[in-house]
């Protein structure tokens, strides 16, 4: 059962609530220290997917468009497939323009 403040601690006496200046309020166990700063490089992501990601985007467009040819009679799913392919294409065009106009393109 949580207490009146809505923090969900209940009757736990070993945890404490801390205020962090750049993060939201956190609950810390006894004997532990709060995380002061967490960088994306610390957990593995530190860049874009680059050329391989753009190639994968174009391959996905081709694969999606091949799904149009099949043994189905209704064409509602074709609209969804074309819409998804267009969404990927728009994001690839946006990424290309962003990289072209960027100070340091990849």
Query: In terms of domains, do 22 and 7 share one?
Result: yes
Dig out the tokens for 64 from the structure.
């999606």
Q: DSSP of 30-74, one letter per residue?
A: TT--------GGGGT--S--HHHHHHHHHHHHHHHHHTTSSS---
Taking the CB of residue 23, how many other CB atoms lie within 10 A of it?
Answer: 13
Domain count, the chain: 2
**Which residue range(s) make up the domain with 79?**
48-101
Predicted pLDDT of residue 74: 82
Query: In terms of domains, do 97 and 67 share one?
Result: yes
Q: Is the pLDDT higher at 90 or at 11?
A: 90
Predicted pLDDT of residue 99: 81
Share the mean pLDDT of the chain. Answer: 76
Identify whether 68 is part of a domain. Answer: yes
Q: pLDDT tens-digit profile of 33-78?
A: 666 666 766 776 666 778 899 999 999 999 999 999 988 888 899 9
Does this model's pTM top 0.75? My answer is no
Q: Is the pLDDT of residue 2 over 50?
A: no
């Amino acid at each position: 059962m949580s207490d009146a403040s809505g923090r969900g601690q209940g009757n736990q006496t070993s945890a404490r609530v801390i205020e962090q200046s750049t993060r939201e309020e956190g609950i810390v166990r006894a004997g532990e220290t709060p995380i002061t700063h967490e960088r994306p490089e610390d957990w593995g992501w530190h860049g874009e997917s680059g050329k391989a990601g753009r190639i994968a985007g174009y391959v996905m467009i081709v694969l999606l468009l091949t799904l149009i040819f099949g043994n189905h009679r209704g064409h509602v799913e074709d609209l969804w497939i074309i819409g998804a392919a267009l969404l990927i294409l728009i994001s690839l065009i946006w990424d290309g323009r962003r990289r072209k106009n960027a100070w340091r393109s990849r």
